[in-house]
Amino acid sequence: MSAYPLGVEIACDGPTGSDDCPDSAAVRARFTSRTARQVRTDGRRNGWTTRRAQGRLLDICPRCRTHTTKEPTR
């Protein structure tokens, strides 16, 4: 029996980047997309955006992008 990687799923990081997406959104990858970069490219075709934060990428779905709020201050 052999195991093969099926690809990568990219999930939304939520409206502020530190909370969960209210819709638990994930990019719908094409069958040929295998890497995170390829899946993020698929997401941009559907309105997803990415931004850098603290050395990593945040993935934001179209719904969270339009409802982005500032993080509460303490």
Cα-to-chain-centroid distance, residue 39: 9
Number of domains the chain is built from: 1
Which residues form the domain of 25? 1-69
Share of the chain above pLDDT 70, in %: 85
- Asked, for residue 32, whether it belongs to a domain, the answer is yes
Give the largest Cα separation in the chain, rounded.
Answer: 53
Q: Which residue has the tokens 């990858």?
A: 29
Q: Among the residues of 1-74, which ranges form H helices?
A: 36-45, 62-66
Instruction: Say if 74 falls within a structural domain.
Output: no
pLDDT in tens, 33-64: 888 888 899 889 889 998 888 888 889 999 88
